[in-house]
Amino acid sequence: MRKRVVITGLGVVSPNGVGVPAFTEALKNGTSGVKHYPELEALNFSCQLGGIPPLSEEKIAAYFSSLQLKNFQSSGICYGVIAGMDALQDAGLDIAGKTDGALTQFGIVFGTGTSGVEKFREAIYKLDDGLVRRLGSTTVAQTMASGVSAYLGGMIGAGNIVTTNSSACATGTEAILMGYERIAAGKATQMLCGSTCDHGPYVWGGFDAMKVTTYKHNHEPHRASRPMSASASGFVPGSGAGAFLLESLDSARERGATIYAEVLGGAVNSGGQRLEGSMTAPNSEAVQQCIEMALCDAGVTGADIDYINGHLTATVKDPVEIENWCAALKRSGTDFPYINSLKSMVGHCLAASGAVESVAAVLQLYHNFIAPNLNCEDLHPEITRRIDTECIPQQYLETPLKTIVKASFGFGDVNACVIFRKN
């Protein structure tokens, strides 16, 4: 018998809101966090836009000691720590005291794509100048892939598994499932799960070179990210972090915790970069199988789904994703669930996208609303041919929700899908 797993804490650092209250209001109001950055223009980027969370130095200083902040340059670790510690606080859990033992039933799975790119850059320059002894004692901790989970593990005193996963854009959704599976198997009581992503030209430059980012709205940033639009021309790169405190239902009930939702189950798979799948494009057969396996694992059917939080990146693959949802759920036209894409507000947060978007999905479930889809007044005809336009709300919509699904599809032809239900 699997133990039931629930969400008792949320944390988010997003381009359109830091912290759950601010983020929730941004979702309801359809607030965009996409901005124009002169630095990108000076570097001759085609896409001079991005989504960077609005964090003040005072806010950051509340989470890190002065020693930790000395020579600190990893925006991804910063975002992950803030989101993770906020989720812990939201759940009403305490850290282990410095003279206490580690929390043996508390684990962490916190993913990322890269870590400390700016710190790497600084290290390269210092090494080239023969200044190896001036790299500082935090260089390794900031640049190792598991830096974010290591920082969180030390701050909290986690004594169960403490690890970092990395599966491109599917990272955050996969992390949630990894934590869920550990609690469901009885190997932990609480798991802090999520993902994060650094910001800036050294992370975003490769995507600009691939020509998968948009260049058409550099001076009207709020209109740039256009999932499901016929005039979509590529994604806007973003950054941030999302975090979940997962807990066994028995533990949550015993301590009277707030329960945002239950994690019913999910699935992770790969298309093997076969058929139409590649390093950069999903294999539709595998995408459909992942969704179908998630439904089966959760014990629900496509007919039970009230709302989809899509991957939907504002590229030519958006109509293909809708087609895959129709096939996997066996629903179309007016029978299709509500669907939206947070990327219309924050851009594509890359490795953080699955976690940030899952926070958005759970908040909509908990508060019974659908956030608006921005910039899709000209819906793609291949999308409207399959599903009714009413299923793609462009204004804030209050509606009862019970069972929802979030999926992420990443570079390398990897997929992750998770099902949430109101407890």
pLDDT digits (tens, 9 = 90+) for 76-134: 999 999 999 999 999 999 999 989 999 999 999 999 998 877 766 776 666 666 767 66
Predicted local confidence at residue 297, as pLDDT? 98
Domains of the chain (ranges; CATH) run 5-261 (3.40.47.10), 266-421 (3.40.47.10)
Query: pTM for the whole thing?
Result: 0.96
Predicted local confidence at residue 105, as pLDDT? 98
Predicted local confidence at residue 139, as pLDDT? 77
Predicted local confidence at residue 72, as pLDDT? 80
pLDDT at 409 over 80: yes
pLDDT bin (cut points 50, 70, 90) of residue 207 is: very high
Cβ–Cβ < 8 Å for 392, 308 = no
pLDDT at 349 over 70: yes
pLDDT at 1 over 90: no
Between 70-84, 117-131, 252-266, 314-328, the lowest mean confidence (pLDDT) is in 117-131
pLDDT at 136 over 80: no
Predicted local confidence at residue 143, as pLDDT? 83
Average pLDDT, rounded, for the chain: 95
Q: Which two three-digit tokens encode residue 212?
A: 């998968």
pLDDT at 223 over 90: yes
pLDDT at 162 over 80: yes
pLDDT digits (tens, 9 = 90+) for 282-314: 999 999 999 999 999 999 999 999 999 999 999
pLDDT at 226 over 70: yes
Q: What is the mean pLDDT of residues 235-254?
A: 98
Q: What is the mean pLDDT of residues 40-46?
A: 97
Predicted local confidence at residue 120, as pLDDT? 67
pLDDT at 147 over 80: yes
Predicted local confidence at residue 140, as pLDDT? 80
Q: Which residue has the tokens 């929390």?
A: 103
Q: What is the mean pLDDT of residues 8-36?
A: 98
Predicted local confidence at residue 70, as pLDDT? 77
The proportion of the chain whose per-residue pLDDT surpasses 90, expressed as a percent, equals: 89
Q: How far is CA 96 from CA 155, 278, 303, in A?
A: 8, 45, 44
pLDDT at 141 over 90: no
